Amino acid sequence: MFCGKLALFILLVYAITSPHLVNGGKQTCVKPQMKDKLLRTCYPWIKHGFVRYYLPPNSPCCAEVRKVRNMDMNCLALMLSPKDRETYDVDKIRGLQTRCQLHSPPPSRRNKDQVMV
């Protein structure tokens, strides 16, 4: 019983720490120039400390977020240098993905209001 749990634990640790085979551990979701532009544009929302609360989905920041492949902010967070990590909050960067999602408008009530005769 113990050996099975130990083997499962070792397998789990290996799966978490091993690099992805497709990209070999190198993160390339966005070009460095695009990363720097996104960090500058989104600075008020991703800096350490107090930030602006509301981020409009049509803001320039969200426009830059949508340029990242699959809006993968986790990949972008992994690309940060130690100097960037002193300035920007990694959790806030990861949160940009959900804050910048475009939501479809609610369904029209027009059809519900019509009475069938």
Query: Which pLDDT value is given to residue 13?
Result: 58
pLDDT in tens, 7-46: 666 655 566 665 544 444 455 677 888 899 999 999 999 9
Assess whether pLDDT exceeds 80 at residue 5.
no
Q: Which of 39, 71, 36 is nearest to 57 (CA)?
A: 71
Percent residues over pLDDT 90 in the chain: 33
Total H helices, total E strands in the chain: 8, 0
The confidence score (pLDDT) of residue 23 equals 45
∠ Cα 60 37 99 (to 5°): 45
pTM above 0.95, yes or no: no
pLDDT at 112 over 80: no
- Sign of the four-CA dihedral 11, 27, 55, 85: positive
CA atoms of 53 and 97, how far apart (whole Å):
15
